[in-house]
Amino acid sequence: MNPQIVPIHRKESLREDGMLFVRTEGILDTMVKLPLLVASMIIVAAVMPIQSSFSSPRILDLIIYPDGTTHVSAKVDVDPLATDYEFDLFGNTIDNFVVVGENGFLLNTNVIGNFAIIETFGSSVITIEYDIYDLVSKQGRIWTFSLDAPSDFTLLLPKNSAIVGMTNLPINMEIINDQNQLTLSVGDTEIDYLFSTNPVVTNHVVSDISILQTDYFTYAIVGGIVAVSIIGIIVIIRSKQKTVKPIQIQQSAQKIETIDAETIFRLKPDLREDDKEIVKFISNNGGQAFESELRKKFLQPRTTMWRAVKRLERNGIIEIEKKDLQNLVKLRKNMEKEE
């Protein structure tokens, strides 16, 4: 080690009054560089948003039509000093491609595969519109929209469509003319949707009403038919009431035949508590109940109740019958004998 080299701060000591003296050359150097530093920071601050805006669309709106075709509308900031701008398309099967400059003038374009070269020549903002067939696919009843979006975007779904799955969080959702419009964030998005038929029924009702309002004669005929049919139904019900009585007696006889809940619990001690509740309800209901009644009573989803019923059937406690397209759940009468 060279003994002559001694650090300056060790060589100089603080004076008694504690005042610190510093070399002024460094300060002078910094003072000269400071304006440069400030100027460069201002330039960086100014250029940062411009750079980011050139790279992705400022506005991106998508509309999905009922046949799965998607209309794309994008507003992009471009370099006003560039002669052309290369724009990435979302696919290569496109139609109705129009690019307009900031003053509403049509710009020349050349679409090559997945991108378009747009002759901007001094434009700073361009609007691009086209229809694309590549973003939506269909499997059975399910339609799937998928896109790797370069920026946040809005997506207007077709009328009567219902979302049944999606891969990322929506930023917002609005209803525009009975259509769902989602605002989604940049990146990969996949949305599954299908068409719900319910609103179509509403439209029919509306159109029927409008016809009735305009045509009083038709109204009278329809009213007459409805009145006659109501009278007919009442007559039929009254005439059938006489024959119903013996069936009711038969049903009450069946009630007596069914095994009571306590016996079932004795025979099946391992039964789950929630299953016991179902058995109790069926027993109190005369030994039988529709699955839909059980769902309403226990406020269970369809599938959960269906599993419970299947479990009871496997245990030999109940049997399932189809009645009026519904599941009728009955307590088994011969359970005790089997045991």
Partner 1 sequence: MKILALFTIFVLISGVASTSLVNDAYAQNDPNILLRIATQADKQILNQLDSSFDDSIPPKIQKLYEKGHTSVESLKNSLPDNIEQAREDFLSAMKSFMQITKIISEPVAEVKLATSDISDRDLKSELNRLDKYFQSLKTVSEKHNTGIDFSEIEQLFTQAKQQIDLGETREATQTIQQLESSIHEIKKKIRENASNSSSDRIKKFASKHLIKIQKILDRASSVDSEIPEIEKANLLIQEIKTLISDDNISDAKKKFGELNKIVKIIEKSIHQ
* Nearer of residues 184 and 279 to partner 1, judged by Cβ: 184
Report the distance separating Cα 126 and Cα 104, nearest Å: 9
Which long-range contacts (C-beta less than 8 Å, at least 24 apart) are formed by 269-275?
271/315, 271/317, 272/311, 274/298, 274/308, 275/308, 275/311, 275/312
Residues 288-307 that bind partner 1 (CB under 8 A): 291, 301-304, 306-307
Radius of gyration, CA atoms only, the chain: 39
Phi, psi of 85 (to 5 degrees): -135, 130
Interface residue with partner 1 among 27, 28, 34, 112 (CB under 8 A) is 34
Size of site (CB under 8 A) for partner 1: 69
Instruction: Provide the minimum distance between the beta carbon of 287 and partner 1 in the complex, in angstroms, as a whole number.
Output: 21
Nearest to 271 by CA among 304, 306, 232, 314: 314
Binds partner 1 by CB under 8 A, chosen from 122, 223, 224, 232: 122
280, 286, 292, 294: CA torsion to nearest 10: -10
**Maximal C-alpha separation, the chain:** 127
Please report whether residue 138 would count as binding partner 1 according to CB under 8 A: yes
169 binds partner 1 (CB under 8 A): yes
Residue 136 or 259 with smaller CB distance to partner 1: 136
Q: Is 167 in the site for partner 1 (CB under 8 A)?
A: yes
Number of CB atoms found within 10 A of residue 328's CB: 15
Q: Is 99 exposed, middle or buried (0-12, 13-18, 19+ CB in 10 A)?
A: buried
CB of 162 to partner 1, least distance (A): 5
Q: For tokens 């129009």, what's the residue?
A: 98
Q: Of 54 and 133, which CB lies nearer to partner 1 in the complex structure?
A: 133
Nearer to partner 1, 162 or 233 (CB): 162
**From candidates 108, 229, 251, 263, binder to partner 1 by CB under 8 A:** 108
Contact pick of 54, 71, 254, 330 for partner 1 (by CB under 8 A): 71
Q: Which stretch binds partner 1 (CB under 8 A): 171-179, 218-226, 240-248, 330-338?
A: 171-179
Q: Collect all residues with Cβ–Cβ distance below 8 Å to 289 and sequence separation of at least 6.
A: 281, 282, 328, 329
- Return the structure tokens found at 289: 């109940």
> Is 168 near partner 1 (CB under 8 A)?
yes
Residue nearer to partner 1 on the CB measure, 122 or 223: 122
- Chain positions contacting partner 1, by CB under 8 A: 31, 34-35, 37-38, 41-42, 44-45, 65-69, 71, 81, 83-84, 93, 95-96, 98, 100, 103-108, 119, 121-122, 129, 131, 133-134, 136-142, 162-173, 183, 185, 190, 192, 194, 196, 291, 301-304, 306-307, 327
